[in-house]
Amino acid sequence: MSKVLGLFLVAIFSIAYTQLVNGHSLRGCQTRCGSVSIEYPFGISTGCYYAVHDSFNLTCNETTNELFFGNMQVVNYSHSGELRILMSRSYACYNRTRVAETISYNTNLRSFTFSNKNRFTAVGCNTFAFMTTIFEDRNYSTGCLSTCDSIPKENGVCSGEGCCHTSVPKRSKRFIIRSSSFDRDVSVNNFNPSSYAFLVEEGMFSFSPSQDLQNLRNVTKFPVVLDWSIGNQTCKQVGNTSICGQNSLCLDSTTRDGYNCKCKAGYDGNPYLQEGCQGTMF
């Protein structure tokens, strides 16, 4: 009888553990939008997200089943403090009379910041692009220049011939990107009618001259990494008032002000919920 009772209790505890581990958001809150899960401190309705900063308030487009941070689509995010979104490109396209159609891109991240895992990239022959951003409350500008008079032959190389890139300082909050061309002639326009500029996560764009100089493979948005954290104080400063739950650790953010939470070794779940980190049974 005791053996049967023991097996029964193990089964009950296993079910309870599974339910707790799967509970990554507050009770009664929507936990999914399309293919993206929604976990606290993020949420899409009042009472479901960390209300101290409205940056954690996301929007679910019920028609397209897409999750948005402002007007930017969310790809995924991690408890460790990264949010991946899709951001639009900037471009300048010229016709044979050098009349340009130019689109610049301007965005504000509220209280989040750009990760230094991103690269500012320009694609085009005889192209220059620049980015103006607010970096720790100071204006900061960077850019790059690419030249060519024919289609480069080597794929995957972005070193100034048809494609260039440069680093982006972490803690940047807002940016404007613009692209433009110089010394345009008909021979270049035949295979490179436009110049492009965009932010992209490092390793997520490989330059293909024959395709990208023509129309950037018709890609209009690229994955970009944002850094997020809780508040602007260290773990020592917040003490026991942090939102980290039981069986979790408070860790100072290494990319910006504030802190993030992490389940202790042997525990799994959402460290931002009071009982979100649960121990494994075996």
Residues in the chain: 282
Looking at the fold, whether 148 and 235 belong to one and the same domain comes out as no
pLDDT for 1 equals 40
Residues 124 and 188 in one domain: yes
Q: How far apart are the first and last CA of the chain?
A: 23
Judgement on whether residues 239 and 182 belong to the same structural domain of the protein = no
| Residue 194, pLDDT above cutoff 60 | yes
Does pLDDT of 255 surpass 60? yes
Mean of per-residue pLDDT scores for the chain: 84
pLDDT at 141: 82
**Which residue matches tokens 């230094």?**
116
Identify whether residues 156 and 101 lie together within a single domain. Answer: yes
As a whole number, mean pLDDT of residues 27-53 equals 94
Considering the domain architecture, whether residues 264 and 193 belong to the same structural domain is answered as: no
Residue 235: closest CA among 248, 252, 218, 220: 252
Interatomic CA distance for residues 205 and 199, integer angstroms: 10
Among residues of the chain, what percentage have pLDDT more than 90? 59
Looking at the fold, whether 70 and 115 belong to one and the same domain comes out as: no
Express each pLDDT in 111-126 by its tens digit.
Answer: 898 899 999 999 999 8
Same domain (yes/no): 222, 111: yes
Sign of the torsion angle spanned by Cα atoms 52, 25, 67, 219: positive
Question: How many domains are contained in the chain?
Answer: 2
pLDDT in tens, 67-106: 999 989 999 999 999 999 999 988 888 765 555 556 666 6
CATH number of the domain that residue 92 is part of: 2.60.120
Distances (CA, A) of 214 to 100, 194, 274: 16, 7, 53
Of the candidates 210, 227, 244, which is a domain's last residue? 227
In this prediction, residue 83 carries a pLDDT of 96
Whether 99 and 54 share a structural domain: no
Domain span including residue 41: 2-81+228-279
Q: Is residue 135 domain-shared with residue 202, that is, in the same domain?
A: yes
